[in-house]
Structure 1
Amino acid sequence: MPRSASLRITESPQGFAQARDFTRRTLGRWALGDRGDDAALVVTELATNAVLHAVARPGADQTGVWLKLTLRRAHLVCAVTDQSDSPPVCPRTDGALEVHGRGLRIVEALSEHWGWTLSPAGKTVWAMLPALPRPTPSAWHGLT
């Protein structure tokens, strides 16, 4: 049975800090504290994109940006929903010192899968992180 937890993210630096803290606390309760840093970074990138780039649709009856964490058998799903129906864009960043445009590349690097879907509320951008610990190199010694 999947476990889930949700949080409305306020559109402020404090909102992003709350989302990171919520993510770490939730994963700690689910005995996934070792995944907290990666999940907090993914959540921050998804939430930042939602706040910066999402424009509310006219007539939308729900407001804000929502974070939902869902623990499945082998994956943690981090999903951020906003009111926009515009797809996420993964811009090309060629400059090594570019500050913007790296969020979805970070999400892609830390997750096994990511994507997005439309919903009546707008769109949800999600990332699946492995919930099981990765084998350490010392554990590989017994495999040879």
Structure 2
Amino acid sequence: MPRTLETADGAPAVTESLPRMAASASMARDMVCQAVETWGLAGLGDSATLLVTELVANAVMHARGNVIRVTVTRVAQRRVRVAVVDRAPVSELPRPSDPLAEGGRGLFLVEAVSAGWGVDDLGWGKRVWADLQVPAVVESPDPSVPIYSSPSAQVVYVLIVLAVAAAIFVTAARG
């Protein structure tokens, strides 16, 4: 059962030790999903579960020992950190994988989905973490400014406006 705690700086966190086996990914996803929902950040649920799945899969495949620790921490109002600790030493950064290989893209996926990620050397093992950030709220645009469905449509609109302005200028210049 996950344990709820506060970090040294007062941030809420949920953590659980899990067996180093593939089935632990499901338990980790449930824990992370429940935590982000509890904190009112359910919009991060899909990304958080993807991240924890990849981090657990890497630990299951490459770590030593029988146990891993999964932690999700609310590091800021709109930011969470998903981390997996294992007993393997820090290894090299991700390297390109064989395009035909079935695996080898996990950390590239983590990098693409997260707001940042890293590896902490613990001496006896490592912590691989990834942060997720709730996107900033975008204010509604001025309703008098037309919004177009694509950048191409916006370019066409600007070109039309310029053509009309040019036509008016040429007509005015001719008298």
Q: Which amino acid in the other structure matches residue 91 of structure 2?
A: P
Matched with 1:112 is 115
Matched with 2:49 is 40
Contact 2:24 2:56 in 1 (8 A): no
**What's the C-alpha RMSD, in Å, of the aligned pairs?**
2.2
> How far is 1:94 from its partner?
4.9
Q: Confirm or deny that 1:70 pairs with 2:79.
A: no
The 1-side partners of 2:96 and 2:38 are apart by: 37
Please tell me whether Structure 1 or Structure 2 has the larger radius of gyration of its CA atoms. Answer: 2
SS of 1:27 mapped into structure 2 = helix
Q: Which amino acid in the other structure matches residue 7 of structure 1?
A: E
The 2-side partners of 1:141 and 1:88 are apart by: 45
TM-score by length of 1: 0.81
Identical amino acids, percent of aligned pairs: 31
The 2-side partners of 1:91 and 1:80 are apart by: 20
Measured against aligned partners, the alpha-carbon deviations of 1:12-69 in whole angstroms (never above 9, x if no partner) come to 333111110111111111111110110010011011101101134xxxxxx5110111
SS of 1:55 mapped into structure 2 = coil
Out of 74-83 and 102-111, give the one that drifted further: 74-83
Tell me which of the two structures has the higher relative contact order, counting C-alpha pairs closer than 8 angstroms and 6 or more residues apart: 1
Map residues 1-144 of structure 1 onto 2, 5 A cutoff.
1-56=10-65, 63-73=66-76, 74-87=78-91, 89-95=93-99, 97-130=100-133, 132-135=134-137, 139=139, 141-142=141-142
Q: Which amino acid in the other structure matches residue 119 of structure 2?
A: W
Distance 1:102 1:31, change over 3 A: same
Contact 2:118 2:129 in 1 (8 A): yes
Please, which runs of 5 or more residues in structure 1 have no aligned partner? 57-62
Out of 19-28 and 112-121, give the one that drifted further: 112-121
SS of 1:141 mapped into structure 2 = coil
Distance 1:29 1:42, change over 3 A: same
Aligned residues: 134
Structure 1 stretches of at least 4 aligned residues deviating more than 4 Å after TM superposition: none
> How far is 1:140 from its partner?
5.2
